[in-house]
Structure 1
């Protein structure tokens, strides 16, 4: 950047030309900015290098599972058991936390539960949207049930509705059933694992509009859980599934056609 020149009056009355330094970053400020940039690059490079090194050399213990997904489920179980142990004691201390971890690991090694197939990937943004919708449905359904309970007139007409869902994993199906059970006005009474059929008790089905609302809600839950956990591009059947193996061998196009026929017949 070239220096600008301005005229300034001299001592003898004549004008003299004096250079003016441009306004910009000083050497100290430039040094700090460059240092910050290099620090970010160094941190990113070190983090990626450490992750690659650990990924190539560390092996998941056999009792944690065969892949990172099952290991994540096992670690979550250990964290949950540790939390329950600390809550039982009522005091958060290092002794309770360490003893809880030891007890949780001992339970996982000595008294292992059946393997839980983890066959998809978690999408946090979709899960947050699902949780937000659950909160909204909870308050709306609670208000509707409370109004039906106090308003004058005949009691609501309840019924058991049958609906089929395209959720493949038993674990995700359990989460979807828990979602329906948490919303007031619906309660899952029975699950047909083979046909992926749910029998749901609905609090109020006095009109066709109420019935359509129920099927619309189930369709939303099914779509969001598949989007959050079971996208077809990320689906990897687990060898421990063992319940609906026939379902995995059906092509997505044939599965969609069978789903449409099943929904039309059941609804």
Structure 2
């Protein structure tokens, strides 16, 4: 006979996570507390207090963008030569500096916020549409009968950002059977050539597909609650041909917006 009380009663299971999930959970919390959060504070502090010359971008964000562009151009140069050597890396770096200095690109206004899960859903829908459209185009090429009949469909998109509109056009062009042939930038209207469209029902189905793509792009990049028009929004001409008065107006509007946001933050902190 056992001396322990209640010998037939099962022992209670320990409460809490198992050792392996508990270890990774602790590791994740330590990474956030001791690495990610101090790094974020340091980046914010440097962005506020570090003054960079104009040729470096004037602020930390622009400097990071130009540094990334420099690394990318260096990588492309080495990739073109097909041999990773110190000579190719140095020459690519120098050529990247020359390209960014002599041929600077205009600023890309960031006017929304990316949502990773919605962007992932958009990527999955692109892959699915790519596979389905590839099969449809392949079948239309080998099936007996008259040749496929194509048409140009006009589609209006409620996308405000030029960057997101460009991504939407790339999405459409990547799917076999569709090609954007003209863009009405002012009215946000796309003229899309669609492969093998014979009935009005097929045209209506294509409009439904474009409406779905439009909703996915807005959900991933341009939600109304997070939309902040950039002062650069609307200046779509070649950067080097924009008059100085327009550039000055944009710079003053940008400074005013930053000052207003800073004042609002200070009042909220008080």
TM-score of the superposition, structure 1-length normalised? Answer: 0.67
Alignment partner of 2:135 out of 138, 143, 146: 143
After superposition, the Cα gap between the structure-2 partners of 1:87 and 1:44, relative to the gap in structure 1 and judged at 3 Å, is closer
- Size of the alignment, in residue pairs? 213
Match of 2:204 among 209, 212, 221: 212
**Local SS of the residue matching 2:155:** strand
Tell me if the contact between 1:70 and 1:117 (Cα under 8 Å) persists in the aligned partners: no
Contact persistence 1:70–1:116 (CA under 8 A): no
Higher strand proportion (structure 1 or 2):
1
Q: Deviations over 1:195-230 (max 9, x none)?
A: 110000010221333212211221122112222222
Q: 1:233–1:92: structure 2 CA closer, same or farther, 3 Å change rule?
A: farther
Q: 1:189 Cα shift?
A: 0.4
Q: Any conservation in 1 of the 2:164–2:217 contact (CA below 8 Å)? A: yes
CA distance in 1, matches of 2:37, 2:233: 39
Counterpart mapping for 1:25-44 below 5 A:
41-43=33-35
Query: Residues 233 and 78 (structure 1 numbering): CA distance in 2 closer, same or farther, change over 3 Å?
Result: farther
Match of 2:95 in 1: 103
Distance 1:39 1:183 in 2: 43
- Whole-Å Cα distance in 2 between the matches of residues 131 and 236 of structure 1? 25
Q: Distance in 1 between matches of 2:41 and 2:235?
A: 41
Aligned to 2:262: none
The match for 1:164 is: 156
1:236–1:111 distance in 2 versus 1, CA, 3 Å:
same
The aligned residue for residue 228 of structure 1 is 220
Worse overlay, 103-112 or 139-148: 103-112
> Is 1:152 aligned with 2:144?
yes
Specify the alignment match of 2:244 in structure 1. none
Is the contact between residue 163 and residue 198 of structure 1 (CA under 8 Å) also seen in structure 2? yes
Q: Based on CA coordinates, which of the two structures has the bigger radius of gyration?
A: 1
> 1:70–1:118: 8 Å Cα contact kept in structure 2?
no
Deviation at 1:171, TM superposition (A): 1.7
Question: What whole-Å deviation, never above 9, does each CA across 1:129-149 have from its counterpart, x for those lacking one?
Answer: 212211111111000000011
> How far apart are residue 47 of structure 1 and its match?
3.9
- 2:146 matches 1:133: no
Cα shift at 1:234: 2.2
The two structures have a TM-score, normalised by structure 2, of 0.67
Aligned equivalents of 1:66 and 1:239: distance in 2? 17
Give the whole-Å Cα distance in 1 for the aligned partners of 2:36 and 2:150: 58
* Unaligned stretches of 5+ residues in structure 2: 5-22, 237-270
Q: 1:205 and 1:219 mapped to 2: Cα distance?
A: 18
Distance in 2 separating the partners of 1:193 and 1:45: 41
Cα contact 1:194–1:243 (8 A) shared by 2: no
2:176 aligned partner: 184
Give the C-alpha shift of residue 45 in structure 1: 6.2
